[in-house]
Chain A
Amino acid sequence: MRAFEKRLQSFEVTETSHTLAAYRSRGGYGALAKALRSMKPADVTKEVYDSGIQGRGGAAFPMGRKWQVVKPDDGLEHFLCANADEGEPGTFKDRWILENAPHLLLEAMAIACYAIGAHHCFIYMRGEFDLSRRRVEGALEEAYGAGLLGERILGTPFSCHVVLVRGAGAYVCGEASGLLSSVEGKKGYPRNRPPRLTVRGLFQKPTVINNVETLSNIPWIIDHGAAAYRALGTPKSPGTRLVSISGHVVRPGVYEIPFGTPLDEFIYEDCGGVTGGRALKAVVPGGISTKVLVAKEIAGLPMDHASLDAAGSSLGSGGMIVIAEGTCMVRLLQVMLRFYHHESCGQCTPCREGTGWMHRIVDRIAAGRGAAGDIDRLIHVSHFNDGTTICGLGDAAGYATVGILDKFRDEFEHFMAHGRSRCGGSLA
Chain B
Amino acid sequence: MTRIFLNGREIEVAADTTVLRAALDNGVYVPYFCWHPRLSVAGNCRICMVEVEGKGLDIACNMPVSEGMKVLTDSDEVRAARKAMMQFLTLNHPVDCGICDKAGECTLQDYHFAYNGAPSISAEPKVRATKFHDLGDRILIDNERCIVCSRCVRFTHEVSRSKALGIQGRGDTSLVRCEEGRRFDDPYSDNVIDLCPVGALLSRSFLYKARVWFLEATPSVCPGCARGCAIRIWHLRADRRLQRLDPRRNLEIARVTPLDDPAVNGPWICNKGRDLAAIFERPRADQAMLRGRPVPLAEAISEARRLVDGAKRRTALVSSWGSDGELAAFRDHLAARFDVRVKPDHVPQPGEIVEDDILIRADKNPNTRGARALFGERPVAFEPGTDLVLVWGEGFDYSRVPAGAKVVLLGSYLAPENGAADVFLPISVQTERDGSYTNSDGIARRFEACFPPGETIAHAADLFAAIGGRP
Contacts and interface: CB of A to CB of B under 8 A. Distances in A.
A221 interface: no
Which of B43, B47, B92 is most buried by chain A, counting CB atoms within 10 A of its CB?
B43
Given A187-B166, A346-B170, A361 B44 contact: no
B122 A357 contact: yes
A188 to B, nearest CB: 9
B54 interface: no
B123 A371 contact: yes
Contacts of B123: 361, 364, 371, 377
Contacts of B121: 377, 380
A170 B41 contact: no
A192 interface: yes
B171 A346 contact: yes
A348 B124 contact: no
A358 to B, nearest CB: 10
Contacts of B124: 357, 360-361, 364
Contacts of B466: none
A355 interface: yes
Interface string A389-408: 11000000000000000000
Contact of A353 (B42, B59, B91, B167): B91
Contacts of A346: 148, 167, 169-174
B57 interface: yes
Interface stretch (B81-89, B289-297, B313-321, B393-401): B81-89
A384 interface: yes
B56 A387 contact: yes
B49 A352 contact: no
Given A346-B167, A357-B124, A390-B43, A194 B64 contact: yes
A345 interface: yes
Interface in B103-143: 121-124, 127
B91 A192 contact: no
Interface in A150-196: 170, 187, 192, 194
Contacts of B45: 348-349
Interface string B23-59: 0000000000000000001111111010000001101
A194 B16 CA distance: 13
Nearest to A371: B123
Interface in A360-399: 360-361, 364, 371, 377, 380, 383-384, 387-390
Contact of A350 (B46, B127, B166, B169): B46
Contact of A192 (B57, B62, B89, B172): B62
Interface residues of B, number: 37
Contacts of B167: 187, 346
B85 A349 contact: yes
Nearest to B88: A353
A353 B170 contact: no
A341 B171 contact: yes
Nearest to A194: B64
B81 A388 contact: yes
A9 interface: no
B258 to A, nearest CB: 27
B201 interface: no
Contacts of B391: none
A356 interface: yes
A384 B81 contact: yes
Interface in B47-81: 47, 49, 56-57, 59, 62, 64, 81
B174 A388 contact: no
Nearest to A374: B123
Which of B59, B150, B172 is most buried by chain A, counting CB atoms within 10 A of its CB?
B172
A345 B170 contact: yes
B147 interface: yes
A65 interface: no
A187 B166 CA distance: 9
A354 interface: yes
Which of A170, A349, A390 is most buried by chain B, counting CB atoms within 10 A of its CB?
A349
A342 interface: yes
B57 A357 contact: no
Contacts of A356: 92, 127, 171-172
Contacts of A51: none
- Which 9 pairs from chain A and chain B are nearest by CB? A346-B174, A384-B84, A353-B88, A192-B43, A344-B171, A356-B172, A360-B124, A192-B62, A346-B170
25 contacts: A187-B167, A192-B62, A342-B171, A343-B171, A344-B171, A344-B172, A346-B167, A346-B174, A347-B150, A349-B46, A349-B89, A352-B88, A352-B171, A352-B172, A353-B91, A353-B92, A355-B172, A356-B127, A356-B172, A377-B121, A377-B123, A384-B84, A388-B49, A388-B57, A388-B85
Interface of A: 170, 187, 192, 194, 341-350, 352-357, 360-361, 364, 371, 377, 380, 383-384, 387-390
Given A192-B62, A347-B148, 10 more contacts: A187-B167, A192-B42, A194-B64, A343-B171, A346-B167, A346-B171, A347-B150, A355-B171, A356-B172, A371-B123
